[in-house]
């Protein structure tokens, strides 16, 4: 006997987001932040994620303003850059991931760091006013924070810091949110990943659910 299931994609989204808003504790988030958190929960299928999401005041507004002005989105991993929905972007924003640039392996060796971290050095010409999306590598987030300690380093408009893992992930995000160099958000602790980072960018890029 055939299985019966919902086949209307729009209806699935509506029901999913309604379920999240019924079950999740979203009271502490502003109206600008709430749709971002809802979409992040949806991406992981995990009500409870909201307890780990942290924003600096005005992050959502800063990121949306930057994107509407055409800011590039700088991503630490191809899983992030490929997951962003281009049709949601308000200004045909450039999406850049430098991880596989041929210069990166030698740069990583020279800097004695990971390729994920070294790849950020290639962001410098595009970093001013950009929206940064780090969803995979804690070393990338640590390297970015070290870069931004230099007063001469260009400043992004916003940092979405959601690297995932058991080594350095919690620590890198704690460092970001303890002394945010610019408007920032993070999923604290070990949780995070490319899917939740993409969800945050997609929600910031367009209010359409």
User: Coil, helix or strand for 182?
Assistant: coil
Residue 37 has pLDDT above 90, yes or no: yes
User: What is the pLDDT averaged over residues 166-187?
Assistant: 97
pLDDT at 207: 86
Q: CATH classification of 51-193, choosing from 3.40.50.10230, 3.40.50.1360, 3.40.50.2000, 3.40.50.1380?
A: 3.40.50.10230
**Residue 24 neighbours by CB under 8 Å, 6+ apart:** 37, 38, 41, 47, 48, 50
For the chain, percent helix, then strand, then coil, each to nearest 5?
Answer: 50, 10, 40
Locate 175 and state its tokens: 């460092």
pLDDT of 5 higher than 90: no
24 — pLDDT class (breaks 50, 70, 90) = very high
**pLDDT over 90 at 9, yes or no:** no
| Cβ contact 137:116 at 8 Å | yes
- Flag whether the pTM goes above 0.75: yes
Residue 138 half-sphere exposure toward CB, CA atoms < 13 A: 18
Give the residue-averaged pLDDT of 50-57: 98
Q: What is the mean pLDDT of residues 74-93?
A: 96
Is 42 catalytic? The answer is: yes
Question: Domain boundaries in the chain?
Answer: 51-193
How many alpha carbons fall within 13 Å on the CB side of residue 143?
23
Runs of H (alpha helix) within 24-103: 34-44, 59-68, 78-83
Residues with Cβ < 8 Å from 30, sequence gap 6 or more? 60
Judged against a pLDDT cut of 90, whether residue 141 lies above it is answered with yes
- Confidence bin at 1 (pLDDT 50/70/90): confident
The average pLDDT across 86-108 equals 97
pLDDT at 8 over 80: no
Point out the catalytic residue in the list 42, 100, 110, 143: 42
Segment 32-44 mean pLDDT: 97
Whole-angstrom distance, CA of residue 193 vs CA of residue 98: 18
């Amino acid at each position: 006997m055939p299985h019966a299931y919902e086949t209307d994609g729009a209806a699935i989204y509506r029901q999913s987001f309604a379920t999240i808003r019924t079950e999740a504790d979203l009271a502490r988030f502003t109206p600008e932040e709430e749709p971002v958190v809802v979409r992040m929960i949806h991406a992981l299928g995990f009500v409870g994620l909201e307890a780990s999401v942290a924003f600096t005041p005005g992050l959502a507004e800063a990121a949306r303003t930057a994107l509407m002005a055409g800011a590039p989105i700088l991503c630490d991993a191809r899983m992030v850059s490929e997951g962003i929905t281009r049709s949601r972007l308000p200004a045909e924003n450039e999406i850049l991931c430098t991880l596989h640039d041929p210069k990166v392996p030698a740069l990583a060796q020279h800097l004695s760091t990971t390729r994920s971290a070294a790849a950020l050095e290639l962001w410098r010409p595009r970093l001013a006013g950009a929206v940064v999306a780090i969803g995979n590598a804690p070393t990338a987030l640590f390297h970015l924070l070290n870069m931004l300690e230099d007063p001469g380093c260009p400043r992004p408009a916003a940092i979405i810091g959601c690297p995932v893992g058991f080594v350095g992930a919690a620590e890198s995000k704690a460092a970001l949110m303890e002394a945010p160099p610019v408007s920032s958000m993070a999923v604290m602790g070990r949780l995070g990943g490319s899917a939740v980072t993409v969800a945050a960018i997609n929600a910031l890029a367009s209010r359409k659910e």
